[in-house]
Structure 1
């Protein structure tokens, strides 16, 4: 019954060579509510996803966050958890049972690809550098030291609603993790296997232009979140000062 309350969202763009295996792997672990969000594929990703047993919807506006956002607009009412998963075959789903077990204690469960030497080696230099920088900045600004910004993540639906995601691009993952700290969510990172993408081309680390754009967006997202957080702290302090003065009168 618990597995029926998990809704899987897979953003896809031209991943016909890998999407079927990803869907079949999820089904092997008992997950049946699987939605593929097609972000403009020109290959057979949609057809193969449907034939594999997934529901498919389209999101014509490009963007990882845009595709994820479209997916969460279609969550069934009886689902309490959302699993985000890539469609390129790079995520090793063997640790999913540990993710499911962790739902007893946590609100957000993240896959840590950098926990093993093999996982770090499978990631590109751009991915490793970007993850180190982003997690370091989150640690400085929010005091929680993540290890990774991996795409494999399981989050409680009510917690995602509290976060109120705003980003619609490459800043999606970093916003979710920073806001999770702000919202006081119980967070766990679980070591997961990771391999180089099994098909298609990376939209982020595949080109210098894509890497630069993604890095710029991630940094801008963190900057906006930090300024917002700083302003909230300042307002809180101003209200405290105002209250103290009112008590002194």
Structure 2
């Protein structure tokens, strides 16, 4: 494979950004991706009430619409009708928290891995951005995956790069916040080459989080962890 960051590598990566009401940050994210050399940028507007989609379109991103709410549903929409030249899918958030400038380290590892995950818990800066509820949810999810599937992750963060062939084999079914969890479990079941990479995640640049800091949403997220893992366990053995 050519050197990381070369035009050939970048042409093979499709960026997918699920976004809802991120008008204050989506432009920054797209600019950062362009600065790193990414050209295939898709923003999936997940029912925004602001001009997130218009801003993304003005900046040259491909904009898709998925009006039905659901993080996984938006991600799934972004994976349809891919160009034949796409070999990798890069998922990141539209709130500016993901350290796009650290992606060259991911690109250096493409040859030897199928799933590369940003690990927020491995750096002091990353840990500082996680609320106690997020930290607890991470520990719950990673512990249960370790007990059920024999592989211990450190994080369930949004920044991830997955080989297209591997993604298609995952047969993803979740359309909500269990999306990231299902992807990581299916990667284990498929025997994929997985690596978590320490990243200096930061607080969202503006706007309000849809989950972190909100007790009701955080409790629902905990429920999602349990129900998603239960469904995946049954799927594995039934």
**TM-score for the superposition, normalised by structure 2:** 0.95
Distance 2:101 2:37 in 1: 13
| 1:54 lines up with 2:57 in the alignment | no
Q: Gapped runs of 5+ residues in structure 2?
A: 1-7
Distance 2:186 2:66 in 1: 25
Structure 2 SS opposite 1:21: helix
Structure 2 SS opposite 1:104: helix
Structure 2 SS opposite 1:189: strand
Q: Gapped runs of 5+ residues in structure 1?
A: 232-249
Distance 1:43 1:60 in 2: 13
Corresponding position of 1:33: 40
Contact 1:19 1:49 in 2 (8 A): yes
| 1:180 lines up with 2:187 in the alignment | yes
CA deviation string 1:40-81 (max 9, x = no partner):
111121111111121101101100000000000132221010
The Cα of 1:95 is off from its aligned counterpart by 1.5
After TM superposition, list the pairs within 5 Å mapping 1:42-191 onto structure 2: 42-191=49-198
Structure 1 SS opposite 2:98: coil
| 1:227 lines up with 2:231 in the alignment | no
1:213 to 196, 199, 220: 220
Structure 2 SS opposite 1:74: coil
Structure 1 SS opposite 2:111: coil
Structure with higher Rg: it is 1
Corresponding position of 1:238: none
Contact 2:131 2:213 in 1 (8 A): no
Distance 2:199 2:23 in 1: 24
Corresponding position of 1:10: 17
**TM-score for the superposition, normalised by structure 1:** 0.90
Structure 1 SS opposite 2:237: helix
2:199 to 189, 192, 196: 192
Distance 1:11 1:219 in 2: 23
Q: Which moved more, 1:179-188 or 1:92-101?
A: 92-101
CA deviation string 1:188-231 (max 9, x = no partner):
11111111111222112242221111211121010111122234
Corresponding position of 1:234: none
Corresponding position of 1:19: 26
Structure 2 SS opposite 1:10: strand
Distance 1:166 1:106 in 2: 23
CA deviation string 1:150-201 (max 9, x = no partner):
1000000000011100000010000000010000000011111111111222
Q: How many residues align?
A: 231
Q: Which moved more, 1:118-127 or 1:176-185?
A: 118-127
Higher helix share: 1
